[in-house]
A and B are shown apart, each in its own frame.
Chain A
Amino acid sequence: DAGVIQSPRHEVTEMGQEVTLRCKPISGHDYLFWYRQTMMRGLELLIYFNNNVPIDDSGMPEDRFSAKMPNASFSTLKIQPSEPRDSAVYFCASSPYRTASYEQYFGPGTRLTVT
């Protein structure tokens, strides 16, 4: 099993540009999560999906952030326009369990730097 796949692994962009992060969950997993990790705030849950439907997006910091899951094998997190304070490591995770409360499998993350 390839695990959760994220791309790109590193992204450097200028303030004001659009950034799209991509995630392929493990096949057969019902839940997909997007997290952001920074030194100051730790690990924050941004949004999660169940069977491709967004369940809770209360962690999305602003309207500049949006996430989609058009099918069971692909999700995107978009930031438009990007700002320096968006610099962080963004993780995607997936889970096979019905209640989304058990083990989550994390991807390697995308390190985003906004200059």
Chain B
Amino acid sequence: GNSVTQMEGPVTLSEEAFLTINCTYTATGYPSLFWYVQYPGEGLQLLLKATKADDKGSNKGFEATYRKETTSFHLEKGSVQVSDSAVYFCALSDQGSGYSTLTFGKGTMLLVSP
């Protein structure tokens, strides 16, 4: 079946530091890949997505590249801000079976200090 593995948190960084959150996946077909972000007290919201191999998703300074050869979709940001403190979820959607839902990783908490 499908699965998503994320690095465990919390990830603690100082403002302006470089961020990487690792995500690897297992899928039977050709999945689309997503990063969702959950700010404290809120629901999840889509941060970025990539629908095929070698695609790069980007938004708000965050980037992730769909790497089929390594089955990875690592999230990166060159300079984090305190406002980026949140929980980040990697997810995949495999359309091979027709109806499809999102499979989420367990989430990685990011804490950014001034």
Bin chain A's interface residue count: 20 to 34
Tell me which residues across on chain B come within 8 A of A56, comparing CB atoms.
Answer: 99, 101
Stretch at the interface among B14-22, B39-47, B71-79: B39-47
Total A-B Cβ pairs within 8 A: 55
Q: Is the CB of A93 closer than 8 A to any CB of chain B?
A: yes
Alpha-carbon gap, A55 to B45, bound state (A)? 23
Q: Is A25 an interface residue (CB 8 A)?
A: no
| 83-99 of chain B: CB within 8 A of chain A | 89, 93-95, 98-99
Asked if B32 is an interface residue, CB under 8 A from chain A, the answer is yes
Q: How far is the CB of B9 from chain A (nearest CB, A)?
A: 12
**A33 touches which of B42, B98, B101, B105 (Cβ 8 Å):** B101
Contacting pair A99 B98 (CB below 8 A): yes
Main DSSP-derived SS at the A contact region: strand
Asked whether, in the complex, the Cβ of A45 is within 8 Å of the Cβ of B43, the reply is: no
Within the complex, the shortest CB–CB distance from B107 to chain A, in Å, comes to 6
CB of B3, distance to nearest CB on chain A (Å)? 12
**B34, chain A: closest CB distance, angstroms:** 8
Q: Mark the stretch among A13-21, A80-88, A103-111 that contacts chain B.
A: A103-111
Which residues of chain A are within 8 angstroms of B42 by Cβ–Cβ distance?
A: 108-109
Cross-chain contact A91 with B46 (CB below 8 angstroms): no
Residues 55-86 of chain A, each 1 if its beta carbon lies under 8 Å from chain B, else 0 = 11000000000000000000000000000000
Known contacts A100-B101, A101-B93, A101-B94; 7 further A-B pairs (Cβ under 8 A): A43-B89, A48-B101, A99-B100, A101-B101, A103-B46, A103-B49, A104-B102
